[in-house]
Amino acid sequence: MGVQIESLFTAALGLQAPWTVERVELDTAKHRIDFEVACTSQRLACPHCGAADQPIHDRNRRSWRHLDFFQYEAWLHADVPRVGCMSCGKTSQTPVPWAREGSGFTLLFEALALTMCQGLPVRQAAQMLRVRDKQLWRRIEHYVAQARTKQDMSKVRLVGIDETSLKRGQDYISVVHDLDAKRLLFATPGREHSTVEQFAVDLGEHGGERTAIAHACIDMSAAYAKGITASLPNAQISYDRFHVVALANKAMDKVRNAEWATESQRVREELGELDARERRSILWAMRRNPSGWSYRQTQAMHWLQRANLKTARAWRLKMGLREVFAHARSHNDATMAANDLRRWISWARRSRLEPFKQLGATLKQHFEGVVRGMLDHRSNAFVEAMNGLLQQAKRAARGFRTATNFIAIAYLRLGKLTHLPASPFVRAAPQGAH
């Protein structure tokens, strides 16, 4: 290739003196394009002490994977000089402007990989980039850790604390969300009261104040409540709708499972014309909003609502609690919300359904926090949305689901980290744009 091609690629790679593209080799059979980059200078500044104009001691051969060129895999190669410094006496490798020290990827390639991992499962991103998953995980961890040290938490006032598990029922991880900025602030293995203290320390390291946290939205586990009292002294606790409704769903499932297991004959009689398949569709319909019912579910629920079954009463109680929350959202009045909730608790306690009697007692015990949660629009929808995003993050870590990997990918996707490398395909503002 001619001289012009080399200077074209020198410019396209953003290289500046003393670096220049010396040779370009395109191998169409191997689907590769290789760029030989050279450092033309014979003397360089010492990378260690900064002394100018020092002699080059030797050169080390290095290679970097770069963004594809059309359909060709692109590689940069260079003999990277080591400076033998006369001033400090050290021999040190000069940094290259296109890559981090020790990385076999160029900065742009890393930025692309990171961008892809925000939207794709890591395994899939690795396949598309034709690299090993491990190479991506290492970079995610590096860049997330680096970006996190620069995160500003000084304005955090409202937090939501929640737990999630990597495997059903085990390997718990606590997550703390910023409910105003809608971002993940902190994630760590465990769900003890000391977890809240760990968050408070991390908050302090990012310019935040534990005493400035005015509000914490949590589930009803005692550990977080205890931790908040100890570590976030000014935070009012509220229990969010998502978790309360989840408890009602659980109570409902318990009633149904018990009744269908022990009185299956009567259940079948009460549900009259329904066949086994239709009866099964009730299981899903009960957890859904009626607006989301399929035709079969609508038919089945029609029968359930007329049946003299504990399951039917349990479903009405669950729907009743949903109503109480929906009502509170529309009137936004604390007194009305408290009255509605009190009425529901008394209904639950008279229901003769043990799981609902227990739920009624739990809600009574946490009454003020539950009412606060009913009126708290900032947190409710968000906690629910975050839960969905965390599930996606888990899927993104499929096959590599360790706590470390999950936490790294969760920060990458939900942390709104402002100091990550930008995608190489985001265009700089065009000239003359306004």
Q: Where along the sequence are the contacts to Zn ion (CB under 5 A)?
A: 46, 48-49, 51, 85, 87-88
Query: 3-state class of 25 per DSSP?
Result: strand
CA-based nearest residue to 423, from 129, 137, 111, 121: 111
CA-based nearest residue to 365, from 227, 276, 210, 239: 239
CA-based nearest residue to 84, from 26, 44, 138, 30: 44
What are the backbone angles phi and psi of residue 164, rounded to the nearest 5°? -145, 160
CA-based nearest residue to 62, from 12, 24, 16, 99: 99
Strand blocks (E) in 138-284: 158-167, 170-178, 183-189, 215-218, 236-239
Q: Minimal distance in Å, beta carbon 87 to Zn ion? A: 5
Strand blocks (E) in 31-167: 32-39, 43-44, 54-69, 72-84, 91-93, 158-167
Q: Minimal distance in Å, beta carbon 44 to Zn ion? A: 11
Q: Minimal distance in Å, beta carbon 82 to Zn ion? A: 12
Q: How many Cα atoms within 13 Å fall on the side-chain side of residue 235? A: 29
Q: Minimal distance in Å, beta carbon 45 to Zn ion? A: 9
- Pick the closer one to Zn ion by CB: 12 or 51: 51
Q: Minimal distance in Å, beta carbon 231 to Zn ion? A: 47
Q: Minimal distance in Å, beta carbon 81 to Zn ion? A: 14
Q: Minimal distance in Å, beta carbon 37 to Zn ion? A: 24
Helices and strands in the chain: count of H runs, count of E runs: 16, 11
Identify the helix (H) or strand (E) that includes residue 43: strand 43-44
- Pick the closer one to Zn ion by CB: 49 or 56: 49
- Pick the closer one to Zn ion by CB: 47 or 190: 47
Task: Give the pair of three-digit tokens for residue 103.
Answer: 């990385």
- Pick the closer one to Zn ion by CB: 50 or 119: 50
- Pick the closer one to Zn ion by CB: 46 or 309: 46
- Pick the closer one to Zn ion by CB: 50 or 292: 50
- Pick the closer one to Zn ion by CB: 91 or 305: 91
